Structure 1
Amino acid sequence: MNRIDRLTAILIQLQSKKRVPLVEIEERFEIGRRTVFRDIRALTEAGVPIGGDAAEGYFIVEGYHLPPVMLNKEEAAALLLGGKLLAPKADKKTYRAFEEALLKIKAVLRYSDKDYLQTLEDKVQVLQFRHSSDTEDQDRFFPDIQKAVAGHLLVDMLYYSNYSESINQRKVAPLGLVYYNDNWHIIGFCFLRKQIRDFRTTRVRELMLLEETFDPCDYPNYDDFLKEQLSRFDVEEVTVEIRNDITRFISDAKYNYGFVSEKKGQEWTEMKFVIPDHHFFVHWMMMHGKYGRILSPPSLIKRAKELSREIFEHYL
């Protein structure tokens, strides 16, 4: 990237946030601190009102705006593909807002780029088998959850606990919103339990935004909580063999089960997986019948034998 393009990109970056830390500019453009200082000085000499410093970060003085940014077709296509992937997982209001934003982007593209984007939109699909009731539950409260996280608003909610199979009222300070294990989760301080807890959004039965606000600095760092949670998932290496004549049928599915590597032999392909739990993996392996076999660990082989016996007795 030449310097003129970089100066323009830094301007756009400064307009994207209230304050941009120095390290973010360094990492984005892969440049040193002195180069950032020179670029900031060049922009201020050109009349751009930039405030801040290296310690606190930089910002553009309120009231100054660049002309509308033009996207090229590759950037617009990247947003289109992102929207396709977003559709099955986002709540309806969020996805409608994304579609409106994409329409505004399409409106300022060149005619040739509009044709390119329209063709791509017609030809790219992300399939889902059904719209689950879980996603519908998420739709009801997701916009309010976003408001609470962004505005530091306390929430009062009725929450279904899968562990106790009961519904409890919880007052929560929502510290973050995290997506993992195919679901959105509120990471927040629970006033009932007096500690940070993980609340899956699809288990929220009722939710009300309170006028009371909170300061995130008054609570523990939820990133530390997440790291601790994830560290509890013990993973295990598994080795299996799949007959070569069916490996092509599981080329995509294997990635859902922690696939790591494979080594193709004359008749069988040896595959290695890293899994957190035996339950789902052994059921998946049983689907392959005599065309798949577990080599290790012994505990997984034992569970496969038990499951085979259960299936046999069930149909006997």
Structure 2
Amino acid sequence: MNKTDRLLAIVLELQGRQVVRAEDLAARFETSVRTIYRDIQALSEAGVPIIGTTGTGYSLMEGYFLPPISFTIEEAVTLLIGTEFIEQRFDDDYRDRAHVARRKIEVTLSDGVRSETSRIRKSLRLLAPGKQAALSNERENLDKIRRALLDGRKIRFHYSKKITDSTGSRHSERTAAPYGLVLVEGSWMLVARCDLRQDIRHFRLSRMAELIELDERFELPAHFDLREYTPLDDRHLRVRLRFNHDIADKVKESNYHYIEDMKEHQDGLDVVLRVRQLDELLQWVLGWGAGVIVLEPESLRNRIREEAQKIVNRY
């Protein structure tokens, strides 16, 4: 990064934070603290109102804001793709805001950058997910949960969960304190403290119904940080499968979330998975037909035989 770019980046850092130490700026831009001192002096001489406090750091004078800056073609494409993604996967409120933001970005571009950005975007496409009815329900729940998060209020909803040892499902009413929302493999998940379980649980928004925001308030625990939160991994069952060579590429491209390791050799593609219940894999394994064989455990081999016999009997 050259000096001009670094000076601009320093102002942006100061603009986005209340106080920044010289040591943090040096680490951020991979340079020495002495260089940061010289950069701060250069910015001050150029008229940028920087306030320095010994032992604390640097800050911008209140009210100072950097005038709009220009975007490179790559930056503009990145931002516009981001707004398109939000329009597809977020609720109506954010979708409308993303549309407005996209228009604002486009009008700030120079004619040359706008033309080149448009040309590049025509070569890229984000396909909206299918199952519009389910997606509509997910968006509606997303909007309600987001508002409850902002209000600091609990929610109540009916939840449908598949029963692993049968083809049915069970329904329950839950009251929960919403801690955060996570987009996992195209599906929105709620991380919340469930009153029924008295612990943190995860809920798929697509399985929620009759969701309402309650008057009861909650406080997010001081130690909880969604960005650092890692759920307990309770997938203790190890499964090993072997796929035929002719479908190996399709298996690799499936990006199945239970897959832990893959290794291809002369006999086929060996895949190792970890799950909580063997039935979680049943439909996925059967979907590959005769192209896959269960190496272990024997209990899953038996379940596959049983299901295969049921299919034969049905036909």
User: Does structure 2 conserve the Cα–Cα contact (< 8 Å) formed by 1:22 and 1:57?
Assistant: yes
- Structure 1 269/84 Cα, relative in aligned 2: closer, same or farther at 3 Å? farther
Shift of 1:127: 2.7
**CA shift digits 1:208-244 (9 cap, x unpaired):** 486x97764x6552559943xx223325554433222
User: Does structure 1 conserve the Cα–Cα contact (< 8 Å) formed by 2:154 and 2:217?
Assistant: no
Q: Which amino acid aligns with 1:245?
A: D
**CA shift digits 1:176-232 (9 cap, x unpaired):** 33333643344455678766554554426343486x97764x6552559943xx223
**CA shift digits 1:25-81 (9 cap, x unpaired):** 456434455554554454345432335769877543331111102111111112233
User: Does structure 2 conserve the Cα–Cα contact (< 8 Å) formed by 1:259 and 1:271?
Assistant: no
- Structure 1 191/18 Cα, relative in aligned 2: closer, same or farther at 3 Å? farther
Partner of 2:159: 161
Partner of 2:167: none
Q: Which amino acid aligns with 1:165?
A: H
| Higher fraction of helix | 1
Greater mean deviation of Cα atoms: 194-203 or 72-81: 194-203
Q: Which SS does the other structure have where 1:231 is aligned?
A: coil
Distance 1:197 1:56 in 2: 40
Q: Which amino acid aligns with 2:75?
A: E
User: Does structure 1 conserve the Cα–Cα contact (< 8 Å) formed by 2:179 and 2:226?
Assistant: no
User: Does structure 2 conserve the Cα–Cα contact (< 8 Å) formed by 1:26 and 1:36?
Assistant: yes
User: Does structure 2 conserve the Cα–Cα contact (< 8 Å) formed by 1:160 and 1:166?
Assistant: yes
- Structure 1 242/206 Cα, relative in aligned 2: closer, same or farther at 3 Å? closer
Distance 1:188 1:157 in 2: 10
TM-score by length of 2: 0.75
Shift of 1:87: 4.3
User: Does structure 2 conserve the Cα–Cα contact (< 8 Å) formed by 1:239 and 1:270?
Assistant: no
Q: Which SS does the other structure have where 2:311 is aligned?
A: helix
- Structure 1 220/62 Cα, relative in aligned 2: closer, same or farther at 3 Å? same
Partner of 1:274: 273
TM-score by length of 1: 0.75
Q: Which residues of structure 2 form unaligned runs of 5+?
A: 162-169
User: Does structure 2 conserve the Cα–Cα contact (< 8 Å) formed by 1:7 and 1:39?
Assistant: yes
Q: Does 1:262 align with 2:267?
A: no
Distance 1:196 1:225 in 2: 14
Q: Which residues of structure 1 form unaligned runs of 5+?
A: none
The number of residues matched between the two structures is: 305
User: Does structure 2 conserve the Cα–Cα contact (< 8 Å) formed by 1:21 and 1:57?
Assistant: yes
- Structure 1 194/72 Cα, relative in aligned 2: closer, same or farther at 3 Å? same
Partner of 2:311: 311
Partner of 2:127: 127
User: Does structure 2 conserve the Cα–Cα contact (< 8 Å) formed by 1:73 and 1:117?
Assistant: yes
User: Does structure 2 conserve the Cα–Cα contact (< 8 Å) formed by 1:189 and 1:219?
Assistant: no
